[in-house]
Amino acid sequence: QYLVAYYISKSEKINGNHIRNYLKEKLPYYMIPNYFISIKEIPVTNNGKLDRRALPEPNVNDLIKEEYIAPETETEKEICNIYSQIFKIDVNEIGKNSNFFDLGGDSLNAISILSMIEKKFNIKIKFKEFMKHSVVNELASYIDSIVSSDDNSYQIDVIEKRNVKEFPVTSQQLGVYIDSIKNNNNILYNVPVSFRLREGVDIDRIKEGFNQLFEKHQILKTKYVEKEINGKTEIHGYIDEECKLVFEEYNDENVDSFIRPFDLSSAPLIRVGFIRNEVLLIDMHHIISDGTTIKIIIDEINKYYNENSINELEIQFGDYAYYINEKMKSGFYNDQIEFYKKMFDDEYEILRINNMNDMKVNNEEINEGEIHNITREINITISEGINKFIKQYNISKTAFFLSIYGYVLSKYSGQEVIYSSIISANRNNHYLQNMIGMFVSTQPILLKFKENDKHSFVELIKENMSTLMNMYNYQDLSLSELTKSLKLKNVNNTFIYQPKSIMNISSSLSESIIDNRGGNDEEMFSVYEDNGSKFDITFNLVEKDDKYLISVDYNTEYFSSYLMNKIVNSFIEMTRNVKQFEDMICEIEYIPKEEKEKIINKFNENRFEYPQNKLYHTEFSKLAKEIPKKCAIVCNDVEISYRELDEMSNSLAHYLRSRGIGRGDIVPIISERSQYFVIAALAVMKSGAGYLPVDPEFPYERIQYMIKECQSKLLLKYINNKEISEKLKFEGVEEYQLQRHDYNSCVEEIDNINEGDDTSYIIFTSGTTGKPKGTIISHSNVVNFCLYSQKYMGKQEIYSEGFDCALAICKFTHDISIGEINYPLLRGCKIILSNDDEFNNPKLIGKLIRKHHINYIFSVSSRIITYLNEPEFADALNDNVKYLLFAGEKFNTNLLKVVERNHNIQLFNGYGPTETTVISSVKNLTEEVIKNGGNIKNIRISTGKPLCNFTTYILDKYLKPVPIGVVGEIVLGGY
């Protein structure tokens, strides 16, 4: 796919090139179409809209390969020559229309080209401008315009050759020095690499090359010491001409001793060793080396090995150190401070991700604070798709991979602004291209992912690319200097992209000392790092041959291997889905298919199909006929059997029907704690209506509001206190006293007039607006909760041994009462309904538990915690109760002591708002305690698994699933 512009021109003199050149002055280069096609008219549909199908199909061959045109001007020829050297392509194959990106250019290539242009033309071109003029003839014209102008801003600085024997350290070196002194006698800042040598290579010749290199680069002979200057301590490098490079010999048994701490006050800070004639070992301190240094060393040794020469240096590292320090003192870099100041005007936070450190992979034992590594490969097929996408949209690989990295971190952290950093080579000066030394710079960056309907991921990548191009010109200041000047927060993660150009060592030589057939990938991962181990996450993206490699170092004190593997998996998943990058940012898939299948389906596989026409009251009547004599309710020492409860509710239902109550009506029940409430609730449902529990202690205005909202025409009442009863009268609403009804009349079964979607009951909660909010629960909801929800796949009970006697102590206006009364009733249990004197008295409740051998309690945890302070209650619970289910509030972990005392008590944590019919998920905490060896410490309290026919999803604000373990919003589904 390419961006193609169709245009109509009145003049034949106007063509695509004219339009392209005009747009370059108006738009960023990445918004300019790749190709322009002239048409006679714009095709439209009958509705006057653009008819895309009628547009002429572009000739693919014309789009892929333009006609070769030889360079004409001297500048064009020079640019072609530079491109030829960089890309190792015959200069005769590069024409004036050749594009840097089409040739396979990356950020390191660009830096090398800019350095060669700087040296050849004595001008300094900004990285962003080079990207805008990446075609040979465009770049040549741009250079010619600069050379012929009087603009001094493009002039390059000449670094003076001082022939110094000591020099002040650079800001990059200073940071390494300070950290090294703090962490003395360790290898934190060692940069070790190893290379398998070509068979039959001349080891003595390699050693000669190293000795020549040692003499040419004074940095290799430098030691670092503190020096007092004007009462201030400074760090200086001293060139020790007396030091020697020693070649060490190793075998497979003692090679581990090669990597050992360096003494910064003693030169040299480089070691070279060999394992027989097979492996070359190099170890350097980071204060004198970086990743590019390794490439320079190998290339120089190869050059000496093949050509008996080593490149000359225009200046030494010490000269550069003086130059850069003088620039710092002069305030030359104030514009860089301003650039980052503007970037960090936005609010941001340090990256924080839920560690998930309790999830071990393969029971792996982790010592906190260690640096561990994950290495993964992006396969060839995906890599080819990446390269095609990058070429299609004319974007840099660094911007592409950095955007994915930031997006994944954003999803795992929930932060829309990711505070990160990138490692830059910082060799944007032609003097430094072949110089050994420590130049790399850590640059802070804010990656913003404030998703909306207007942005695609491609646009986001291009925005990040624009930022990166600007940052290229602001690499000189160290992270420590920026942090100090701008009072930045400490950044804890960094991203490193290592292009092929730095990984392919000595590819230009006909005979290399390195045997590349076996690959040196493993040893090369760290060659471009600016001491990544000082970050909690160092994310390396390495381009190697025809694929990409990922190497992540992470601090186990903050991030587990489980979490880091998930992040890497998501990164790779995104690279599979580049075709989606034209979509809105929030639509991009980043969760691996296997994990998403688990999230959507496997975690919610607890389903059971059953007839949908079941109703609570008809199911109860069926059960009552099966166990007519069994006790259903005990309250105030009055026992009511299942047959009696069925018949009494039939009688009241017939009366309600006679008063015009039926399907669609809502009947309030204002009742003290007594059996009359249960009878009334069943009767209302049998009449065809839904019931509304009302607490007599509610304020009058609240009750009035609820009744008005439900448009009730009749209410049922049981209140012994006449004064209170008289106050609770409502205009236009008929009331009926439950205790005055003749329950012996009309006891025959009443015809059912309901369907599953009809209202069973309404519960009013406090609401978020200040007014009570009514929640409507259907018969299908209640039947699923009572008959199937608390069974696995609708069959296997979660209460494995079952229970036969339940305690009811909750207010009728709270949906836990459904779990105390309606649910046990359909199980054929006995309900011990506490009266108004008992329901909040732990001592009396304890006596009820012991007297009736209650073995099931459903309550809020805070209530039971309080009751456990009463010995009568605590002992009765321990001796009788099998199942304790809690919901309605956050679980109090002190309740785990109940299980610690008695493992036979099954403790459950339930979760679910009123809208889901009491609870929708449950967790067996006793099982967790037993798994933990009976120890209640470190028990993970969760909402558990979805009940049967319920679904639970954790979603982001766009209602998209988040990865397992990532914080999101709970979204519930089902009955």
Tell whether 291 and 411 lie within a shared domain. Answer: yes
What single DSSP character describes residue 786?
I
Counting as low any pLDDT under 50, the low residues of the chain are 60-66, 358-366, 506-509, 518-532
User: How confident is the model at residue 401, as a pLDDT?
Assistant: 97
**Alpha-carbon distance values, 567 to 30, 562, 593, 684, 691 (Å):** 29, 9, 14, 55, 50
Tell whether 89 and 237 lie within a shared domain. Answer: no
Would you say residue 660 lies in a domain?
A: no
- Residues 502/292, Cβ–Cβ less than 8 Å: yes
Question: From CA 859, how far away is CA 881, in angstroms rounded?
Answer: 13
What six digits make up the tokens of 956?
Answer: 């982001």
Question: From CA 790, how far away is CA 608, in angstroms rounded?
Answer: 11
What six digits make up the tokens of 389?
Answer: 């996408």
Last residue of a domain, one of 64, 90, 106: 64
Last residue of a domain, one of 21, 46, 64: 64
Would you say residue 623 lies in a domain?
A: no
Tell whether 253 and 334 lie within a shared domain. Answer: yes
Residues 394-420 have pLDDT tens digits of 888 999 999 999 999 999 999 999 999
* Residue located via tokens 């170092």: 553
- Output the 3-class SS for 296-322: HHHHHHHHHHHHCCCCCCCCCHHHHHH
User: How confident is the model at residue 48, as a pLDDT?
Assistant: 78
Cross-strand bridge partners of residue 857? 807, 884
What six digits make up the tokens of 758?
Answer: 């009809």
Question: From CA 161, how far away is CA 743, in angstroms rounded?
Answer: 112
What single DSSP character describes residue 820?
I
Question: From CA 572, how far away is CA 564, in angstroms rounded?
Answer: 12
Strand, helix or coil at 99? strand
Angle at 886 between CA 880 and CA 891, to 5 degrees: 120
User: How confident is the model at residue 29, as a pLDDT?
Assistant: 57
Cross-strand bridge partners of residue 374? 552
User: How confident is the model at residue 524, as a pLDDT?
Assistant: 38
Tell whether 386 and 250 lie within a shared domain. Answer: yes
Measuring CA to CA, which residue among 668, 641, 670, 644 is closest to residue 656?
Answer: 668
Question: From CA 339, how far away is CA 569, in angstroms rounded?
Answer: 34
Tell whether 121 and 195 lie within a shared domain. Answer: no
Please count the CA atoms within 13 angstroms of the CA of 599 that sit on its side-chain side. 19
Question: From CA 719, how far away is CA 698, in angstroms rounded?
Answer: 13
Residue partners of 417: CB distance under 8 A and separation at least 6: 346, 347, 348, 349, 446, 447, 448, 449, 450
User: How confident is the model at residue 33, as a pLDDT?
Assistant: 78
Would you say residue 801 lies in a domain?
A: no
Would you say residue 717 lies in a domain?
A: no
User: How confident is the model at residue 155, as a pLDDT?
Assistant: 79
Alpha-helical regions (H) of 396-513: 397-413, 457-472, 479-486, 500-503
Question: From CA 735, how far away is CA 906, in angstroms rounded?
Answer: 43
Tell whether 26 and 135 lie within a shared domain. Answer: no
Tell whether 137 and 253 lie within a shared domain. Answer: no
Would you say residue 341 lies in a domain?
A: yes
Last residue of a domain, one of 64, 83, 107: 64
* Structural domain for 371, as ranges: 158-581
Question: From CA 75, how far away is CA 81, in angstroms rounded?
Answer: 10
Question: From CA 668, how far away is CA 684, in angstroms rounded?
Answer: 9
Question: From CA 883, how far away is CA 909, in angstroms rounded?
Answer: 11
* Residue located via tokens 């906190």: 368
Residue 505, classified by CB atoms within 10 Å of its CB into exposed (0-12), middle (13-18) or buried (19+), is buried
Residue 255, classified by CB atoms within 10 Å of its CB into exposed (0-12), middle (13-18) or buried (19+), is middle
How remote is the C-alpha of 241 from its chain's centroid? Answer: 52
* Residue located via tokens 């319920």: 950
Measuring CA to CA, which residue among 595, 397, 564, 409 is closest to residue 496?
Answer: 397
Tell whether 116 and 180 lie within a shared domain. Answer: no
Phi, psi (5° rounding) for residue 246? -105, 135
Tell whether 176 and 51 lie within a shared domain. Answer: no
- Residues 277/202, Cβ–Cβ less than 8 Å: no
User: How confident is the model at residue 230, as a pLDDT?
Assistant: 81
Buried b (16+ CB within 10 A) or exposed e, 34-67: bbbbeeeeeeeeeeeeeeeeeeeeeeeeeeeeee
User: How confident is the model at residue 799, as a pLDDT?
Assistant: 86
Omega before 699 within 30 of 0, i.e. cis: no
What six digits make up the tokens of 675?
Answer: 């059996």
Tell whether 186 and 320 lie within a shared domain. Answer: yes
Q: Are strands 190-196 and 279-285 parallel, antiparallel or unpaired?
A: antiparallel
What crossing angle do the helices spanning 334-343 and 479-486 adopt, rounded to 10°?
Answer: 70
> For position 139, which CATH number holds?
1.10.1200.10
User: How confident is the model at residue 532, as a pLDDT?
Assistant: 43
515: left (phi over 0), alpha (psi -120 to 50) or beta: beta
Query: Based on the structure, what is the number of domains in the chain?
Result: 4
Would you say residue 736 lies in a domain?
A: no
Would you say residue 614 lies in a domain?
A: no
Would you say residue 924 lies in a domain?
A: no
User: How confident is the model at residue 769, as a pLDDT?
Assistant: 63
Tell whether 78 and 212 lie within a shared domain. Answer: no
> For position 413, which CATH number holds?
3.30.559.30
- The residue length of the chain stands at 975
Tell whether 27 and 102 lie within a shared domain. Answer: no
- Residues 192/282, Cβ–Cβ less than 8 Å: yes
